[in-house]
Structure 1
Amino acid sequence: MLLSFRVTNHRSLRDEQQILLTPEGRDDEGLSAPQDAEPMRVAGVFGANASGKSNVVDALRYMRNRVRGVPRRGGEEEPTEGIERWPFCLDPDSPGRPSTYVVDLLDEGERYTYGFTVDDTAVMAEWLFRYTADGREEAVFERDGDALSNEPDGGLFPVSNVIEIESNVLLMEVFSKMQPKLFDSTQMRSLRAVSRWFANGLLIRSRPSGIPRVRFTPMAPPGEETERRLGELLIAADTGIGEVSTEAVSRETKDGGVRESYRWVFRHRGAGHEHVLGIEDQSEGTQALMELGMRAFAVLDRGKTMVVDELDASLHTHLSARLIELFQDPESNPHGAQLVFTSHDAALLGRIRGAEVLGRDQIWFCEKVASGATEIYPLSSFEVADEGTRARKYLAGRYGAVPFVDDDLFAAALAAREDTPHDSSAPN
């Protein structure tokens, strides 16, 4: 589980910014004592358009992709020299400064801190620390450039003897491609735990604008239980759907063979009878809820961390709140899965149907300052007496993180100018 994420010099995140997923009562460094760390199940980041919310998600995705060795540059392999990154570019110094990414994790009762610093040419530093039961910090490994060191028991020495680490490649990336049980030691078990979280424990979801969400045909049936849960979710959302299922479809392949796949079937309630429709007939909101619901079920069942950019896109406020509730409720989330999301929806800051959607520790704001850099700060840094007034105070600008709209300029930008000819090709 994710306890915190820190990032420096990534896109608009010029100075170090941090999001904590631990309750109030933290230690001096912002985290609970190692043996007492209790990750929160939900955290929401709110802010105006272009405030940098998506850059927080992008930074965590960048860290995950580097650890996993995901191909860069549009699918090409990693270049033999240099490191692809996106530093802050609105001042003359930041593009040359290094970028740093750090996560604090809790895995099966063990707490870890893993991070790295890179510039345009090489990995400048990389480190992994674990915490003992009595709260002591132990170095699993520390890397300074190409130099690697670790604890005196030599747990990593076998690794450094049999692998060569390129200057622009993370040790964690090299390890993620090795056989999981090649070596066995406290250090190697720590490496496996962190590598496993990036590979299987972290799901990041964002939707490029204009791309349909769920236009797919499953290659294998999802199972009756998944169909049942998905149907219940869509029925509860008042979509008009009465049942969700899949049916087999045989398709001829280019070589003349036959391939069997499955398509979604939705039975809608009508006037006195039922209508059977396909996924292409569903609204974008229904598709959004279906896609998010399927991801959420997988995360909830396995106790993973799901990061969602623009949770409220195409979703009514009540549906966003319902998805958040699935993670907040111990009954529907018995394995402690996490949801971290960004949103514009101020209603999620208050009460919906009489219940508080988010606690004060779970709310973060994102604001772009005069320099163009993004700052992230928690609601808990403000004195808030009543959660019922949060949305109103936020929209009034009491917490910042709202756009300043120049009404005159906005109106002038939308107004048709007399000397501008009408463009008949413009969309209606």
Structure 2
Amino acid sequence: MLVQFSLKNFLSFKDEAVLDMTAINAYKEHEYNLIDLDMKEKYLKVAAIYGANASGKSNLFLAFYYFQKMLTESFNNVSGDDLKTIEVCYMPFKFDEDNENTEFEVVEILDGYEYKYGFEYNDKNIVAEWMYRKNIETNRKTTVFERYGNGSIDFGAVVRKECDMYKEQIPPETLVLSFFNKLKLKTDIFKSVYGGIMDTLVMDTDFYEDLGLIEKLLPRVIDDSKESLLNFLDAIDIGIKDIWHKKEKDEEQFFTVHKDKNGNCYDLSLFNESEGTIKSITIFLCARTAVSLNKSMLIDELNVKLHPLLLKFIIDLFYEKTSKAQLIYTTHDTTLLDRRFFRRDQIWFVQKDDMGHSELSALSDFKVRPDASFEKDYLSGVYGGIPLLKEFNLKAGE
């Protein structure tokens, strides 16, 4: 479960930005929006991020994507065009003479422990890297390892016996976590943290065009739980009465069923449906998978080609009582920017200043009146994150 993600000096985020999924205990509204682990803290199931075009919202998602990319590729250190992974993934703030290091850090809760893992790097080497673990039950904190700018690595007692012999073998451009995830060790700390981070699904604005997601996920849903999918299709009222699949020549084919006014049924290839329908089904499949497996999803521009009511339907999937799944998404759609649907700590804004710096803030950072309209105040510029449009004149054609 994702507790916190922070980034610094990545694309438009020059200064540190922190997305925190920890709920504010003082807020008592919408308790069903929270994950309760019987701890002092509770955690958000859904977070919505608003901002103007080019404010940097997508860069927040790219940051997590490149954070994962560093983990998956830094061990082999090869990423197309003969460039090293660390070179490809180093994307600092450009409007600055000083090319400072980029920094990522994540806090995750996994199997009874809270892990804090992060690293600092440039296009040459890993400058620093760290991992700490806290036992949720006893609150005891331990150091797993710390890596320093001179290349030295100190392992904590929990892994020192197994790991000390390898520390001279870790290249300067390879992450310690990536290195030990590849080894067979008695400790499962490295594989657990690596797996927890990679379990977060990061999807860009074009993810619904990836037909591979449908080919991978849809057959099992049709075979095992078609009723839930049909209920979803019925709820969004797009005229699909049934859906089925078959395999021909090792190729999976999908069909939807429509009825005319006389009750006659007609099959249509799923991929001949509208883009909105395909995206709706793809989102449902991914969301249902995340909810059933307690995964986190980060989706950029979730509202694109989705009706606001359908967006609400997808969000509500994550409020299933027994699930610890999380949804973090960006949107321009203010329809759901309402206290009836969200707590104040679930709403975030990204805005860019005159120097090109993106800043991330939460609605909870502002003093909000008890009777305030979130949407009205947002569109009025109270919270930032909206475009500043200069006056201009359109000349009529002659």
The alignment's TM-score, normalised by the length of structure 2, stands at 0.88
How far the C-alpha of 1:283 sits from its partner, in A, is 1.0
CA RMSD of aligned residues (A): 2.7
Equivalent of 1:390 in 366, 374, 384: 374
Could you say what secondary structure the match of 1:364 adopts?
strand
* Residues 388 and 291 of structure 1, relative CA distance in 2, 3 Å threshold: farther
Deviation by residue 1:17-61 (Cα, 9 ceiling, x = unmatched): 0111011149xxxxx999534321111111111100000000011
Q: How far apart are the structure 2 equivalents of 1:23 and 1:380? A: 10
Paired letter, 2:159? G
Deviation by residue 1:277-326 (Cα, 9 ceiling, x = unmatched): 11222111111111111111111111011110111011011111111111
Q: How far apart are the structure 2 equivalents of 1:98 and 1:142? A: 17
How far the C-alpha of 1:73 sits from its partner, in A, is 8.0
Structure 1 residue 103 corresponds to structure 2 residue 106 = yes
CA contact (8 A) 2:23 2:42 kept: yes
Q: How does 1:22-171 map to 2 (within 5 A)?
A: 22-25=22-25, 36-69=40-73, 75=80, 79=84, 84-93=89-98, 96-132=99-135, 133-145=137-149, 146-151=151-156, 153=157, 155-162=159-166, 164-171=169-176
Could you say what secondary structure the match of 2:226 adopts?
helix
Structure 1 residue 381 corresponds to structure 2 residue 343 = no
CA contact (8 A) 1:52 1:368 kept: yes
How far the C-alpha of 1:138 sits from its partner, in A, is 1.4
Equivalent of 1:262 in 252, 271, 290: 252
Which residue number corresponds to residue 18 of structure 1? 18
Which residue number corresponds to residue 248 of structure 1? 247
CA contact (8 A) 2:52 2:351 kept: yes
* Residues 77 and 162 of structure 1, relative CA distance in 2, 3 Å threshold: farther
How far the C-alpha of 1:191 sits from its partner, in A, is 2.1
Which residue number corresponds to residue 408 of structure 1? 392
Q: How does 1:183-262 map to 2 (within 5 A)?
A: 183-184=186-187, 189-199=188-198, 201-208=199-206, 212-214=209-211, 218=215, 221-222=219-220, 223-250=222-249, 260-262=250-252
* Residues 299 and 371 of structure 1, relative CA distance in 2, 3 Å threshold: same
Which residue number corresponds to residue 424 of structure 1? none
How far the C-alpha of 1:91 sits from its partner, in A, is 2.2
Structure 1 gap segments, 5+ residues each: 27-31, 251-259, 419-428
How far the C-alpha of 1:395 sits from its partner, in A, is 1.0
Paired letter, 2:18? Q
* Residues 217 and 128 of structure 1, relative CA distance in 2, 3 Å threshold: closer
Q: How far apart are the structure 1 equivalents of 2:189 and 2:391? A: 55
Which residue number corresponds to residue 336 of structure 1? 324
How far the C-alpha of 1:385 sits from its partner, in A, is 3.1
* Residues 47 and 83 of structure 1, relative CA distance in 2, 3 Å threshold: closer
Deviation by residue 1:227-284 (Cα, 9 ceiling, x = unmatched): 332222111101111111112223xxxxxxxxx2221110123221222111222111
Paired letter, 2:132? F
Q: How far apart are the structure 2 equivalents of 1:60 and 1:171? A: 18
Q: How far apart are the structure 2 equivalents of 1:349 and 1:177? A: 44
CA contact (8 A) 1:217 1:262 kept: no
Q: How far apart are the structure 1 equivalents of 2:132 and 2:86? A: 28
Which residue number corresponds to residue 344 of structure 2? 360
* Residues 216 and 134 of structure 1, relative CA distance in 2, 3 Å threshold: closer
How far the C-alpha of 1:82 sits from its partner, in A, is 5.2
Rg larger for: 1
How far the C-alpha of 1:157 sits from its partner, in A, is 3.9
Q: How far apart are the structure 2 equivalents of 1:216 and 1:40? A: 26
Equivalent of 2:265 in 242, 262, 274: 274
Q: How far apart are the structure 1 equivalents of 2:361 and 2:194? A: 29
Q: How far apart are the structure 1 equivalents of 2:88 and 2:271? A: 41
Identity fraction in percent: 28
Q: How does 1:282-301 map to 2 (within 5 A)?
A: 282-301=273-292
* Residues 139 and 14 of structure 1, relative CA distance in 2, 3 Å threshold: same
How far the C-alpha of 1:387 sits from its partner, in A, is 6.9
How far the C-alpha of 1:383 sits from its partner, in A, is 2.4
CA contact (8 A) 1:67 1:176 kept: no
* Residues 364 and 161 of structure 1, relative CA distance in 2, 3 Å threshold: same
Structure 1 residue 347 corresponds to structure 2 residue 358 = no
How far the C-alpha of 1:382 sits from its partner, in A, is 1.6
CA contact (8 A) 1:129 1:139 kept: yes
Paired letter, 1:240? G
* Residues 311 and 217 of structure 1, relative CA distance in 2, 3 Å threshold: closer
Could you say what secondary structure the match of 2:387 adopts?
coil
Which residue number corresponds to residue 31 of structure 2? none
Structure 2 gap segments, 5+ residues each: 27-35
Which residue number corresponds to residue 33 of structure 2? none
Paired letter, 1:202? T
Q: How far apart are the structure 1 equivalents of 2:94 and 2:227? A: 49
> How many residues matched?
382
